[in-house]
């Protein structure tokens, strides 16, 4: 029989895995320790932290809650539950726990700081709710882009009425050198792409013609220099080399504006050969917490964020590749009756933000699980779906597989659910703290999937989340 000594040894292995940023291994070690002794609060609290790093915030809340149940005076557990709730925008619940942590440990300066920041978040959310109107005016209304003068000393390429490869090449070099585009060009790019994507269907349906190739990419999360490495290895977009970016272009990484402006520029240049799906981070609530709003304000203007926000709400939610691969950011649905036709009929323009329930939320937020059926979300938002759910959906809709992103995979991709559910993630060494590879999928006219992995490359010394509004996010 394993002993308490064995449980402590497993906890120490978990701690070592955390130190090495091996979050999945850490969860596994802590779980084994809990199986030996399920009354040690530290095992749950430590696993909560590893789950926070894995963005399994629902699991993190549950673990911290169990630690508090075992030891109601465990300040660190309140702290971690608060951080996890902050991550899933449950700021009121987080506020309660930060208050408890400070009450139980009045000398804890860090807890006091986080409490003050959380109070600011709650006040800001309440303010936004108070001024919210049902149908806000367009951010583009009254925007006179033509009337904005480009400074004579601007040293970049000039943008005319159409996007050009020369302008994109110059843009890439500017971004590599830490320079920005002129505000006029930023507005011009967003306005042009918003119009293009608004007119696309909620589910874009495309084929890969003979002599062409499609590359499907997962989350890039503001890791601009890693995106450059992907293009270096696989080739830049052209009229015959299609690309599909499957959401979460922004947030966390500190070059989110560079990534989304580049992707938008390619969309403008190749509107029928470059595709963009919306992710759960192309939403206002996430952008306020995870840095994109702050980055827009720091590098450009508050207006820039409002324009991006409106363009994000116009993005398609899915792409059907060759009638065989249903590609969307999150995953499948809470109801087996939901079909591709339901996605086709969804009017995404009536609802700018995904909300807490419904088809749009599920398309952006759900995750696969190994067990059959459906389960509560490990994130605390949405749900999880099993291999039987994926099989029924694919068979009912004549699909080979569902391609999705939304989650770190240590090898950059994973094929699960008997080959019917494929996750691709394109941000290697995610947030500079997870030792994962990045990946992308090449698909030719034969519709066979060709997986490629790549490693992170060096970037300037700017940390992830540099533009987030508060330091609560540094714990995530």
Per-residue pLDDT of the chain (476 residues; tens, 9 = 90+): 889 999 999 999 999 999 999 999 999 999 999 999 999 999 999 999 999 999 999 999 999 999 999 999 999 999 999 999 988 889 889 999 999 999 999 998 888 888 888 888 888 777 777 766 667 789 999 999 999 999 999 999 999 999 999 999 999 999 999 999 999 999 999 999 999 999 999 999 999 999 999 999 999 999 999 999 999 999 999 999 999 999 999 999 999 999 999 999 999 999 999 999 999 999 998 998 899 999 999 999 999 999 999 999 999 999 999 999 999 999 999 999 999 999 999 999 988 888 778 999 999 999 999 999 999 999 988 999 999 999 999 999 999 999 999 999 999 999 999 999 999 999 999 999 999 999 999 999 999 999 999 999 999 999 999 998 665 555 55
Side-chain half-sphere exposure of 244, counting CA atoms within 13 A: 32
Q: 285 forms bridges with which residues in the sheet?
A: none
SS3 302: helix
pLDDT of amino acid 114:
85
pLDDT of amino acid 89:
86
**How is the chain split among helix, strand and coil, in percent rounded to 5?**
45, 10, 40
SS3 63: helix
449-454 β-sheet, strand order = 274-276, 241-245, 213-217, 438-443, 449-454
Q: Please answer whether residues 190 and 308 qualify as being in contact, where contact means their C-beta atoms are separated by less than 8 angstroms.
A: yes
Q: Please answer whether residues 438 and 453 qualify as being in contact, where contact means their C-beta atoms are separated by less than 8 angstroms.
A: yes
> SS in 3 state form for 136-185?
CCCCCCCCCCCCCCCCCCCCCCCCCCCCCHHHHHHHHHHHHCCCCCCHHH
Q: Please answer whether residues 161 and 328 qualify as being in contact, where contact means their C-beta atoms are separated by less than 8 angstroms.
A: no
Known catalytic membership, residue 281? yes
pLDDT of amino acid 377:
94
Q: Name the CA dihedral angle for 332, 333, 339, 343, rounded to a multiple of 10 degrees.
A: -80
10 Å CB burial of residue 265 (0-12, 13-18, 19+) is: buried
Q: 274 forms bridges with which residues in the sheet?
A: 243
How close are the terminal C-alpha atoms of the chain, in Å? 36
Q: What is the distance between the alpha carbons of residues 114 and 106, in angstroms, rounded to a whole number?
A: 13
Rounded to 5 degrees, what angle do the CA atoms 266, 268, 272 make?
Answer: 85
Q: What is the distance between the alpha carbons of residues 369 and 385, in angstroms, rounded to a whole number?
A: 6
Where do the domains of the chain lie, and which CATH numbers do they carry? 4-131 (1.25.40.10), 165-475 (3.60.21.10)
Q: Please answer whether residues 291 and 467 qualify as being in contact, where contact means their C-beta atoms are separated by less than 8 angstroms.
A: yes
Q: What is the distance between the alpha carbons of residues 92 and 82, in angstroms, rounded to a whole number?
A: 9
| CA 71 to the chain's CA centroid | 34
pLDDT of amino acid 350:
87
pLDDT of amino acid 122:
83
Rounded to 5 degrees, what angle do the CA atoms 231, 232, 234 make?
Answer: 60
Closest CA to 286 of 473, 139, 428, 60: 473
Q: Please answer whether residues 423 and 416 qualify as being in contact, where contact means their C-beta atoms are separated by less than 8 angstroms.
A: yes
What the block records as the tokens of 254 is 């500190």
Q: What is the distance between the alpha carbons of residues 47 and 18, in angstroms, rounded to a whole number?
A: 10
Element (H, E) at 320: strand 318-321
pLDDT of amino acid 357:
85
Q: Please answer whether residues 91 and 121 qualify as being in contact, where contact means their C-beta atoms are separated by less than 8 angstroms.
A: yes
What the block records as the tokens of 167 is 């302008």
Q: Please answer whether residues 318 and 288 qualify as being in contact, where contact means their C-beta atoms are separated by less than 8 angstroms.
A: no
Q: What's this model's pTM, rounded to 2 decimal places?
A: 0.93
Catalytic residue among 221, 270, 281, 329: 281
């Amino acid at each position: 029989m394993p002993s308490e000594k064995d449980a402590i040894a497993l906890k120490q292995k978990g701690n070592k895995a955390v130190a090495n940023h091996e979050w999945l291994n850490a969860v596994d070690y802590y779980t084994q320790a809990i199986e030996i002794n399920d009354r040690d609060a530290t095992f749950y609290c430590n696993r909560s932290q590893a789950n926070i790093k894995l963005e399994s915030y629902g699991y993190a809340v549950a673990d911290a809650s169990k630690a508090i149940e075992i030891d109601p005076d465990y300040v660190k557990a309140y702290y971690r539950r608060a951080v996890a709730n902050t991550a899933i925008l449950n700021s009121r619940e987080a506020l309660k726990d930060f208050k408890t942590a400070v009450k139980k440990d009045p000398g804890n300066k860090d807890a006091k700081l986080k409490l003050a920041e959380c109070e600011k978040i709650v006040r800001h959310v309440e303010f936004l709710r108070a001024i919210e109107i049902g149908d806000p005016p367009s951010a583009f209304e009254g925007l006179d882009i033509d009337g904005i003068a480009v400074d004579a000393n601007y040293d970049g390429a000039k943008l005319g009425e159409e996007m050009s490869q020369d302008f994109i090449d110059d843009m890439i070099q500017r971004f590599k050198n830490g320079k920005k585009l002129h505000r006029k060009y930023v507005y011009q790019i967003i306005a042009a792409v918003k119009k293009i994507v608004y007119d696309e269907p909620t589910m874009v349906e495309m084929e890969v013609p003979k002599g062409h190739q499609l590359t499907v990419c997962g989350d890039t999360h503001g890791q601009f220099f890693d995106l450059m490495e992907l293009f270096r290895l696989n080739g830049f977009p052209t009229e015959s080399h299609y690309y599909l970016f499957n959401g979460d272009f922004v947030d966390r990484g500190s070059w989110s504006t560079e990534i989304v402006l580049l992707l938008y520029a390619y969309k403008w240049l190749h509107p029928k050969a470059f595709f963009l799906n919306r992710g759960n981070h192309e939403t206002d609530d996430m952008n306020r917490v995870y840095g994109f709003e702050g980055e827009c304000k720091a590098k450009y203007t508050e207006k820039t964020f409002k324009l991006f926000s409106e363009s994000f709400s116009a993005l398609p939610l899915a792409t059907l590749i060759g009638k065989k691969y249903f590609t969307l950011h999150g995953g499948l649905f809470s109801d087996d009756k939901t079909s591709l036709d339901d996605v086709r009929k969804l009017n995404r323009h009536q609802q700018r933000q995904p909300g807490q329930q419904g088809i749009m939320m599920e398309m952006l937020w759900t995750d696969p699980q190994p067990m059959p059926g459906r389960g509560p979300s490990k994130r605390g938002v949405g749900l999880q779906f099993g291999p039987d759910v994926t099989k029924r959906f694919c068979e009912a809709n004549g699909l080979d597989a569902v391609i999705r992103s939304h989650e770190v995979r240590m090898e950059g991709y994973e094929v699960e659910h008997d080959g019917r559910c494929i996750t691709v993630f394109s941000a290697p060494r995610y947030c500079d703290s997870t030792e994962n590879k990045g990946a992308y999928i090449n698909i030719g006219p034969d519709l066979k999937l060709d997986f490629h992995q790549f490693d992170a490359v060096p970037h300037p010394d700017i940390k992830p989340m540099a533009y987030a509004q508060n330091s609560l996010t540094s714990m995530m």
